[in-house]
Amino acid sequence: MYCVSRVSLDALYKVRGVASLDDKTMKKLLQTIIVSVVLLQWVDAEAELQSLRGSFIQDKSTFSEVGDYIDDDQTVERHFVQQPPVIPHSIESYRVNLRRNKCLSCHSWAKYKQKKAIKISITHFRDRDGNELSDMAATRYFCLQCHVPQMAIPALVENEFRPVDALNAGKNN
């Protein structure tokens, strides 16, 4: 850190053509800055932030009530190209791990007709390089990475999303 004397500061002010600040002015400026900082901290401390759930940020977090799954087995409309289909039923007791995938008990190509379910897409039989496989690609095995169940709960924020126009072709809006 450099130490600059008052004499050299006065000389610098003269060179730059700036008037020197006397001690009285410096004290007032310092007091004003300190008071401003204290007031800003006080105002900030008084602000009470709330989460989207309505509780204060500093309060202990509480879990919101879990709503019911939309369990009507109706296909849910997609809103953008390449959107994975959402799951129109509960998956609470489903196991998906390295040894077992409960989703495939209904949605596999071998069983979808018998279970009256939607079969998994052909894209699930391609590896990341686009090569066709005889069995489901390992990268697509864990369904819940892309597919999620829908729940009947109120939205925390208003949804202003608008679907892609290509998906609305043929619909009267």
Which residue numbers belong to the known binding site for heme c? 89, 103, 106-107, 124, 143, 146-147
Residue positions forming the annotated binding site: 89, 103, 106-107, 124, 143, 146-147
CA gap 143, 43 in Å, rounded: 49
Q: Shortest CA distance to 147 belongs to which of 113, 121, 128, 109?
A: 121
Q: Shortest CA distance to 95 belongs to which of 103, 86, 84?
A: 103
Q: Give the burial string for 10-43 (b: 16+ CB within 10 Å, else e).
A: eeeeeeeeeeeeeeeeeeeeeeeeeeeeeeeeee
